[in-house]
Amino acid sequence: MKHSLPVTHLLLAGCALAPALPASAALLDDSKASLELRNFYMNRDFRQAGAPQAKAEEWAQGLLLRYESGFTEGDIGVGIDALGLLGIKLDSGGGRSGTQLLKQDRESREAQDEYGELGLTAKFKVSRTVLKLGALQPRLPSVSYNDARLLPQSFRGGHLNSQEIDGLTLDAGRLSQVNQRNSSDFEDMSASSGSAGATGIKSSKTSDAFNFAGLTYRWNDQLSGAWHYGELEDIYRQHILSLTHTLRFDDQRSLRSEVRAARARDDGSSNVDNDAYGAMLTYRQAAHSVAFAYQRMAGDTGYAYIAGSDPFLFNYVQFGDFANRDERSWQARYDYDFSALGIPGLTFMSRYISGSDIELGGGRPSGEEWERDTDIAYVFQSGPLRNLGVKWRNATIRTRHFANDLDDNRLILSYTLPLW
């Protein structure tokens, strides 16, 4: 078994970082560290006849060590962050691998016993502007890391964030490589190709450069707008606009409305041609929340985003993104917080998404799909199990004329221990 780093030393290396930092009271006083224990069981049952694999079923234990320092004193503050990740196989094999919980052997495709990485980030601060260099986990409309499995996705690069002007946030940067959520190797980036090619994006290249920029302006407590740009060199260029408004009737009731529009085109070696539009309304009343969303794709391909990352789409859910060529989709969602019934920590979510008019090409009839998701989560509020989180996630996916039907179940136990 091969590792990019000696896996058993990853967490020890992370713990040793703090004493090695330059001496500064602010640097140490403002630092924080935590260890998250994440136990993840996943079962994906492929229901469609002729599927290449009957099911994927794995169980794994993850350890996520996070350290964030403060900044040294002076005109230019200096600090360092660290992320140590370790994934351990508890059960797999027998043709059941492929849940993306664990790293797979390149030849046998069987899950490896363990995998991990250590990511370091240098950071520099001037006034209200921060530059980060190294391991990054951006949360932006143009690029957003994925954390839906045992270990999170990460990138290498630089990210500048500035909030010098009240209400205005500026972001700019460049990513060079990606480490996927079930990998310990950094590699060049590619564009997502969608389900069974239905997205229609084709490119023979990968890229070692993703350039991004954006600005977000908060007009007041109710209204904010944003523009973001992403360019995966030689593959696609994309502009994203969004507008969000929250109308508060009182402390118990509010109406949130958001609209988004994106335009992506080829950047030299692909066929990317996509316009995406979406809108979502969310009404909240005390413990209840009801939401409705509509999403539409137009152009010769589906939505373009870095493979493995989270796309900035309302109908990107547990399994599907509903972003195939010409696809039109809608979503209905309901959330409930049981603290209103005297059970704090217990939450429930259910949603249904339906997509149609998917252009499959080759004279095939239009594709259709639907997905039904249910989440039930509980975080212990007191006693010896305080802060232990238990979550069950269920998804049912059915398609017509493309891809496979499947049932997806995930049981996640997580506990975060603050170290200091």
pLDDT computed for residue 107 by the predictor: 79
Alpha-carbon gap, residue 339 to 346, rounded angstroms: 7
**If you average pLDDT over residues 130-148, what whole number do you get?**
98
pLDDT computed for residue 1 by the predictor: 40
pLDDT computed for residue 14 by the predictor: 47
**If you average pLDDT over residues 243-267, what whole number do you get?**
97
- Does 25 score more than 70 pLDDT? no
- Does 209 score more than 70 pLDDT? yes
**If you average pLDDT over residues 126-140, what whole number do you get?**
98
List the domain range (segments joined by +) for residue 194.
125-413
Q: Write the CB contacts of 308 (distance below 8 Å, at least 6 apart in sequence).
A: 146, 153, 178, 180, 181, 192
Alpha-carbon gap, residue 37 to 56, rounded angstroms: 23
- Does 12 score more than 70 pLDDT? no
- Does 216 score more than 80 pLDDT? yes
Asked if residue 11 belongs to a domain, the reply is no
Asked if residue 289 belongs to a domain, the reply is yes
Asked if residues 26 and 405 have their Cβ atoms less than 8 Å apart, the reply is no
pLDDT-derived band of residue 326, with 50, 70 and 90 as boundaries?
very high
Q: Write the CB contacts of 378 (distance below 8 Å, at least 6 apart in sequence).
A: 345, 346, 347, 389, 390, 391
Higher local confidence (pLDDT), 24 or 369 = 369
Higher local confidence (pLDDT), 26 or 278 = 278
Q: In a 3-state reduction of DSSP, which class is residue 202?
A: coil
**If you average pLDDT over residues 197-215, what whole number do you get?**
93
- Does 224 score more than 70 pLDDT? yes
Asked if residue 13 belongs to a domain, the reply is no
pLDDT one-digit tens code per residue, 339-385: 999 999 999 999 999 999 999 988 889 999 999 999 999 999 999 99
Domain count, the chain: 1
CATH number of the domain that 142 lies in?
Answer: 2.40.160.10
pLDDT-derived band of residue 4, with 50, 70 and 90 as boundaries?
very low
Structure tokens at 238: 């994309």
pLDDT-derived band of residue 196, with 50, 70 and 90 as boundaries?
low
Alpha-carbon gap, residue 263 to 274, rounded angstroms: 6
- Does 8 score more than 60 pLDDT? no
Higher local confidence (pLDDT), 46 or 257 = 257
Asked if residue 228 belongs to a domain, the reply is yes
Higher local confidence (pLDDT), 419 or 19 = 419
Asked if residue 48 belongs to a domain, the reply is no
- Does 325 score more than 60 pLDDT? yes
**If you average pLDDT over residues 137-144, what whole number do you get?**
98
